[in-house]
A = this chain, B = another copy of it.
Amino acid sequence: MLTERQLEVILSVVHAFIESGEEVGSRTLSKRYLKGRSAATIRNEMADLEEMGYLMQPYTSAGRVPTTRAYRIFVDTMLQRLPHNERGRGWIKRIEAHRDGLRGALSKASEMLSQLSNYVGMAAVTQLAQIRLRKVDFVRIDSSHCLLLVILEGGIVHHRMVTMPCDLSQDILEDLSRRINTLAGYEWSEVRETLRNYISGELWRYADLCGSALAELDAILAGERTKLYTGSMSNLFDVPDFQDIGKFRALFSILEQENELAKLLEQYGMKDGIGVVIGEENAAPELQNCSVVLSSSSDEGTRTILGVIGPKRMNYERVISVLDRVLCDIESGEGDE
Which residues of A come within 8 Å of B, CB atoms? 96-101, 104, 134-135, 137, 139, 141-142, 144-145, 147, 149, 151, 155, 157, 159-161, 163, 232-234, 237, 243, 245, 249, 252-253, 256
Contact = CB atoms under 8 A, between A and B. Distances in A.
A97 B256 contact: no
A141 to B, nearest CB: 6
A145 B97 contact: yes
Chain A interface mostly: mixed
Contact of A135 (B97, B139, B142, B256): B139
A237 B253 CA distance: 10
Contacts of A97: 141-142, 144-145, 161, 163
A277 to B, nearest CB: 23
B147 A157 contact: yes
Nearest to A163: B97
Nearest to A233: B256
Contacts of A233: 252, 256
Contacts of A159: 101, 157
A226 B160 CA distance: 20
Contact of A234 (B135, B151, B252): B252
Contact of A141 (B96, B141, B149, B256): B96
Given A139-B151, A243-B245, A245-B243, A161 B237 contact: no
Given A161-B98, A234-B253, A237-B249, A147 B155 contact: yes
Given A96-B141, A99-B161, 7 more contacts: A97-B141, A104-B161, A137-B137, A137-B149, A149-B157, A234-B249, A237-B245
A256 B252 CA distance: 13
Contacts of A101: 147, 159-161
Nearest to A135: B139
Contacts of A149: 137, 149, 157
Given A139-B135, A151-B147, A249-B237, A100 B161 contact: yes
A87 to B, nearest CB: 22
Contacts of A139: 134-135, 137, 151
8 closest cross-chain pairs (CB), A and B = A237-B249, A157-B159, A97-B145, A101-B161, A99-B161, A135-B139, A234-B253, A139-B151
